[in-house]
Structure 1
Amino acid sequence: MKRILLLLALLIFTISCGDVEKKSNKNDDLNNEVHRTWWKEAVIYQIYPRSFKDTDGDGIGDLKGIIEKLDYIESLGVNMVWLNPIYSSPNADNGYDISNYREIMDEFGTMEDFDLMLREMHKRDIKFVMDVVVNHSSDEHRWFQESRKSRDNPYRDYYHWWPAEKGKPNYRYSLFDPKGEAWKYDSITDAYYLHYFSQKQPDLNWENPKVRQEVYDIMKFWAEKGVDGFRLDAFQFVSKDTSFPPLPEGYEKEVIKYYGMGPNLHKYLKELNKEVLSQYDVFAVSEGAGSTFEDAHSLVDADRNELQMAYHFEGMDVGNSLDGYKLSEFKEVYTKWDSAFAEKGWLSIFLANHDVPRMVSKFGNDSPEFRKASSKMLNTFILSMRGTPYCYYGDELGMTNIGFENIEQYQDIVAKNGYEKTLNEGGDISEYMARLKFLSRDNGRTPMQWNDSEHAGFTDGTPWLPVNDNYKTVNVEAEEKDPNSCLNYFRKMVDLRMNYPVLVYGDYKLLFPDHKQVYAYTRELEGQKMLVLLNFSEQTANLELPDNLTLNKPLINNLEELVQEGSQIELQAYQAVIFDLK
């Protein structure tokens, strides 16, 4: 299906509220060297389905709710949607523990609902990305239920089993288990099974070709339905050294190095590409990109015939401290990744997803005074960098962390098991709770705020997670009416990206690398050049631009004013401006 041509280009916005100067779409003029591809030009909107819109009053979002809000999604200008898992699941990890890969979770609806949702997306030229979770399944999946019945069961080798008579296997760390142990003893066959995540998420044995074929058949099932892409959850973990040797000292600091990018990963990816990806007009992105640039390139470079897009986590490692972060570190991470992929491969650009807190609370300033400006500034960053942007639901509104105070309020298995682990090890519970309040995944999973009615219009029932108290003012209905809202600014910024290929494919150059407040860079492509200025602080920032930069008027500005005199520019708190350069 052809890429969406944004109708928002017909709207005219005043420069005082962030005017976007229209320019003819230059995509047709792009040189072949930039390797134009629809998934590079996409803006992806990630939806956590449990939290988007509930239509049946059970407090859980559903597919009918997404269908109901497709006109809203279309109005954002985005042209692709990624949903977190919607398969049948007992929900030990909110859908990332799958019990049937060809059925829709009851809480979300039916396969008929899914088919209708996909048709309605495609009618709007919105493509769809399916989340594929195949490093592990649920322990309630039929495969595992059969696998644990006996050692000679045909499904036994679908999982990693270690017979107890060989002694306890070498320690493996579980990312989710409160005891930190990834081998779970099962008395039925007197053996241990492996789970890198929860004990209810046993790892699939990709060394078994039958497992791989099962996965390829599942992906073909959804590709035949018309899905346009796949996001491969935890995929860098699927290949394992099945001798499970002892882990070296200090492995905790390099989990990906010792757990991920196993000996047969590329073999499996080439096989997957041949069996599935090359047979359909789809793309695939793997969660994670290894531990080095070489790892990332080996996954996504076109001549590798594996995946298409890298989704690295180093940016998410910035700011994981209660003391905040340094802008220099933020700039360094995104600059080095862009440099590493300047000639080959393709990156994802994001600041939030379902596994991290709200971006404005982590990287911006969620106080009432600065929430709007800093949210707009962060969206300017995401939508002006090279790579495919991933925008998380609610971030277009400037939704913030909810900040739970006690462990009973949390739903996330990671939060609960981490609490138990801290207790078991005699850790500092106060410190743990403070970090959880700031960094918990539940912060990014609270219900979408549609209006100022009870539960923010998300549900007529009791929501599975509480709605943030600021929903009275931070909601779609209120922001639709405000020309200066985060929502309307987001639409303008998406429109700008869609109409200026330089923001998609252009070369990136960092300016003022040592400036403690401002992140500044240029984007340049075939005679088109833009300057992006972002003030990441609540203080005014002054810049003197280089003599070789001559500014046209701003294409977009997140504040009402711009203080400029010649080459001197004064950026207000969290101001974001993009200039077209002469």
Structure 2
Amino acid sequence: MAGAMRCNARKLFASSREPKCPKGTPSPLLRSSAQAGGRAMTWWKTGSIYQIYPRSFQDSDGDGVGDLKGIEARLDHLVALGVDAIWISPIFVSPMHDFGYDVADYCDIDPRFGTLADFDALLAAAHARGLKLLLDFVPNHSSTDHPWFRESRSSRDNPKRDWYIWRDPAPDGGPPNNWISDFGGSAWEYDAATGQYYYHAFLKEQADLNWRNPDVRAAMMDVLRFWFDRGVDGFRIDVLWHMVKHADFPDNPANPAYRPEMGEMHAVLQSNSTDQPEVHDIAAEMRRIADGYPGGRVLIGEIYLPIEKLMHYYGIDTPEVHLPFNFQLIEAPWDARSLATMIADYEAALPSGGWPNWVLGNHDRPRIATRVGGPQARVAAMLLLTLRGTPTIYYGDELGLTDVAIPPDRVQDPRELREPGWGLGRDPVRTPMPWNASDHAGFSSVEPWLPLGPDWPTRNVAAQAQDAGSMLALYRDLLSLRRKHDALAEGDFRLLETTGPVLAYERWRGDERIVVALNLSGEDQPFALPAGEVVLRTLPGGVRTDTLRGNEGVVILVR
């Protein structure tokens, strides 16, 4: 059955290249709950996720770009770190206009990253080490190089015309409405050959699929099955809330709070081009597919929406994604009172059975060490890994990497190239991982595709692995605590009453009780620590029982 499904899925995505129909059966390393123990079906609740930006993790073939064999070569770092799963940003065939988020074949690996055989080897190596592996699914749009779009563009009466969103010009000959691309400019591109515009929420090379077409929906659901059959443990679903548009395509309302530095996309409110009611039925179907596979497969939705709308993606009447990404820590003011309110409101908003999750950084947003500074980045790590819910760690944050200034002649990101000068570019957070002090930081044998940070000779994995006071050691210790203490992995949560820049909360499960106290300032703050054992702190030296030192966080096992 699995082999037949793979072959059928490959036929859906055939291109001018000779199709490579994978053979075989699902990975023997996938375990049912009965085989893997009591937590197998909830690993994504008790575990932690590590995001890898594949171009920047490890280059194995000397072209300056990371690849799958490179990731496999560095799996032991992730085991030593103590994470439970890796999520790899897109690795599918792509012309790389948006570095993999413009997919030209959903069922094959881009040669820059390797082959399907390389992927299978990576998956087997990860599973052998007890690591889950998640892929990045990009269902909202495909590359304009995808065979589907080439057919759709060929004529108005092509069977795949309706697989994408085509509209007639406005009466004045311009775009059908005022929708703006997230990368600036109109979201509509005119095709002179057929006399219509096609819609692209991002680059013009990323044409939006028409998810109201049942054939599109069926084909993309087969993509999920193709990779689930192959053995992947789940997906992060790119821009899930974008996938369905208002059926009548009305203008988006103007944003009264718009400022140019926000980026042109924010000139309008995307109320008609995103978050339509029909998307929830699609998410529910994806969930049914995931739940039909053993081993606790997980779906994580990228959704930038206010909390009350984000909660809908857990599912109201029918389950949808397991984890709608909670990006509040990325966007919130770094202030104890603001964070306490945000955490309380998020916990209160969760639906019955909804499991929380937290994110400090990703491939689109400034790194946490840049946002709050190095000392507070240690406090932030303790916050991320002791809150209730599933944490996601962005590669390099375990070293305290900061954003890297990119010279104008090295800029790669299409967002920066289209809207220069506003600091919207994402290259600074996608720079290569520094592994050691050798040439090119052990990332590659040649100059990397993006420059390394200036401190890479000292801020690297090898150096920090030998330093008990390093950021890497702190992340290892925090992740070890999560494994050791059920109160942290899956226990209950309660904020404690504090004042000023101190944030404190309690975690407990059964008789085990843990208190976490964080000083979000550089000044000493009075705080009466409960009696018990201080099992971890962000600063060296002793801990006073009546004071938190500046930039200090402590984890206390309460007696």
Q: What TM-score, normalized by structure 1, do the two folds share?
A: 0.84
Q: Which amino acid aligns with 1:344?
A: G
Q: Answer yes or no: is the 8 Å Cα contact 1:216–1:276 preserved in 2.
A: no
**1:305-454 alignment, distance < 5 Å:** 305-319=319-333, 325-341=334-350, 343-362=352-371, 364-365=372-373, 371=374, 373-404=375-406, 406-419=407-420, 429=421, 432=422, 436=423, 440-454=425-439
Provide the residue aligned with 2:311 in structure 1.
297
Shift, 1:241, TM fit: 1.1
Q: Which amino acid aligns with 2:46?
A: E
Aligned residues: 515
Q: Answer yes or no: is the 8 Å Cα contact 2:93–2:109 preserved in 1.
A: yes
Q: Which amino acid aligns with 2:129?
A: R
Aligned to 1:466, the other structure's residue is in SS state: coil
Does 2:164 correspond to 1:159? yes
> Which sections of structure 1, spanning at least 5 residues, go unmatched?
5-26, 320-324, 366-370, 420-428
Q: Answer yes or no: is the 8 Å Cα contact 1:2–1:125 preserved in 2.
A: no
CA distance in 2, matches of 1:85, 1:214: 19
CA RMSD across the alignment: 2.3
Aligned to 1:396, the other structure's residue is in SS state: helix
Aligned to 1:530, the other structure's residue is in SS state: strand
Deviation readout 1:395-419 (Å, 9 max, x if unpaired): 1111111133x54332111111111
Q: Answer yes or no: is the 8 Å Cα contact 1:55–1:64 preserved in 2.
A: yes
Does 2:559 correspond to 1:559? no
Name whichever of 41-50 and 395-404 sits farther off.
Answer: 395-404
2:193 to 153, 166, 188: 188
CA distance in 2, matches of 1:486, 1:391: 13
Deviation readout 1:342-371 (Å, 9 max, x if unpaired): 743122211001111111111x31xxxxx2
Name whichever of 46-55 and 375-384 sits farther off.
Answer: 375-384
1:574 to 538, 551, 556: 551
Provide the residue aligned with 2:23 in structure 1.
none
1:287 to 290, 302, 320: 302
| Distance of aligned partners of 1:572 and 1:523 in 2 relative to their CA distance in 1, 3 Å threshold | same
Deviation readout 1:222-281 (Å, 9 max, x if unpaired): 000000011100011111112101222327488454432213111212222334543454
CA distance in 2, matches of 1:183, 1:496: 50
Name whichever of 505-514 and 467-476 sits farther off.
Answer: 505-514
| Distance of aligned partners of 1:327 and 1:186 in 2 relative to their CA distance in 1, 3 Å threshold | farther
CA distance in 1, matches of 2:182, 2:490: 36
CA distance in 1, matches of 2:348, 2:110: 42
Q: Which amino acid aligns with 1:346?
A: W
Name whichever of 328-337 and 468-477 sits farther off.
Answer: 328-337
CA distance in 2, matches of 1:328, 1:378: 15
Does 2:57 correspond to 1:60? no
> Which sections of structure 2, spanning at least 5 residues, go unmatched?
1-29, 257-265
Q: Answer yes or no: is the 8 Å Cα contact 2:47–2:489 preserved in 1.
A: no
Deviation readout 1:48-83 (Å, 9 max, x if unpaired): 000000011100001010111111111111110000
Deviation readout 1:143-201 (Å, 9 max, x if unpaired): 11111110001110110000237654111011013xx2101111110100101111111
Shift, 1:488, TM fit: 1.7
| Distance of aligned partners of 1:523 and 1:256 in 2 relative to their CA distance in 1, 3 Å threshold | farther
Shift, 1:513, TM fit: 4.9
**1:166-205 alignment, distance < 5 Å:** 168-177=175-184, 180-205=185-210
Q: Which amino acid aligns with 1:374?
A: Q
Does 2:523 correspond to 1:539? yes
1:150 to 133, 149, 155: 155
Aligned to 1:472, the other structure's residue is in SS state: coil
**Aligned sequence identity (%):** 36
CA distance in 2, matches of 1:465, 1:118: 27
| Distance of aligned partners of 1:103 and 1:36 in 2 relative to their CA distance in 1, 3 Å threshold | closer
Name whichever of 452-461 and 275-284 sits farther off.
Answer: 275-284
Provide the residue aligned with 2:24 in structure 1.
none
Q: Answer yes or no: is the 8 Å Cα contact 2:246–2:272 preserved in 1.
A: no
Q: Answer yes or no: is the 8 Å Cα contact 1:452–1:473 preserved in 2.
A: yes
| Higher-RCO chain (CA-CA 8 Å, sequence separation at least 6) | 1
Q: Which amino acid aligns with 1:170?
A: N
CA distance in 2, matches of 1:391, 1:313: 12
Does 2:465 correspond to 1:480? yes
